[in-house]
Amino acid sequence: TLLYEAVCNKNVDIITYLLSKKADPNQRNSYESSPILAAADNGYSECLKLIINAKADLKRTSKKCNGETALYLAAFRDHSKCVKLLLKAKASPNEKTIDGIYPIHNPIMKKYRKCLKYLLNAKASVNHLSIFSTPVYAAIEFNNIKALKMLLKRKANVNKKETMQIWTPLYLATG
């Protein structure tokens, strides 16, 4: 779509013009992506702000991928300004992908502290079980002590087993 292309080209003037002419911020392109997903995935916070203000669907997912939301993509790529904008617009930090992965996992695994802080402040669950593990388990597995401390400060369950129900975080830490 024209709006999608304008976002991909980070052209704020064209985005503003197209939205003033009632371009649909939720229209998908041939790859089943939308302007909000493109802005979040590329870290284009100015474009994202315009798309959000045009009432883009914050739960919009990519149909051809794994059902990632804009928040998931922004957190995955460490685009903290986009994460902050999306959370301020009330995007849910607890929407999972088709594969069962939550936005909180990648910032823990990749040590994206600012994104993790924003997600936790927005009440991202510290105890949910994704396809991989719990957030605490991921913090230990990826040697992210700062994330572990942040999770425990928010009352994360240190005894919850990982996906295969074999190991607790304590077992992993001592193994």
pLDDT given for residue 22 in this prediction: 96
What is d(CA 162, CA 61) in angstroms, rounded to the nearest whole number?
26
pLDDT given for residue 169 in this prediction: 63
Going from the first residue of the chain to its last (175 residues), give the mean pLDDT of each consecutive group of 10, the final group possibly shorter. 95 98 90 90 98 92 79 97 98 92 94 98 92 86 95 89 61 61
Tokens of 167: 């190991």
- Inter-residue contact 104 to 136 (CB < 8 Å): no
**Nearest to residue 17, comparing CAs of 6, 8, 9, 32?**
6
**Nearest to residue 18, comparing CAs of 37, 31, 32, 35?**
35
pLDDT given for residue 38 in this prediction: 95
